[in-house]
Amino acid sequence: MSIWTPHGEHDVPRDENSGSQPQGEVGGPPGFDDLSPEEQEQARIMAAELAEVRKRLSETPAEDIIANHAMGIYELAAIHLSGQPPSIDEAKIAIDAMSVLLSGLEGRLGENENVLREALQQIQIAFVQISQQEDIGDEPQPEEETDGI
């Protein structure tokens, strides 16, 4: 058996006992019946809350959810730009992702689209300004001449 990772495919040695133990027995993940009554009730509550969140999410227009995620990308770029020192390369990836997202969905994001485009322009301007400041800070400063004093 093998497993794929970002660093390539890797062989995974097969354990002779793997898959032979039913869930809930020693060595396997616990099953619902292995939980205490309090834990079972907590699991039921969590499952009900998750079902409610999924229901609300399914009732929300996709354009609103995508706009929310796009603003999350904007915030990610802003975080990287506001670091000391700024993470220019990381901010660039986030800004490029937001740009590609808006370009790919042009005309399909409803009333959110103009706000998102303005946000993209603002973060792009901030990126250019901060990048220029970083470039200036990286350049060697000329030494002041003392005229032999």
Report the C-alpha gap between 47 and 56 in whole angstroms. Answer: 14
What residue spans define the domains of the chain?
30-59, 62-136
Q: Which residues contact 117 (CB under 8 A, 6 or more apart)?
A: 102
Q: Per-10-residue mean pLDDT for the chain, 149 residues long?
A: 69 60 59 90 93 95 96 98 97 98 97 97 97 78 55
Q: What is the pLDDT of residue 24?
A: 47
Q: Which amino acid is at 57?
A: L
Counted residue by residue, the chain has a size of: 149
Q: What is the pTM of this model?
A: 0.66
Q: Which residues contact 52 (CB under 8 A, 6 or more apart)?
A: none
DSSP characters for 45-109? HHHHHHHHHHHHHHHS-HHHHHHHHHHHHHHHHHHHHHSSS--HHHHHHHHHHHHHHHHHTTT-S
Closest CA to 117 of 149, 70, 53: 70
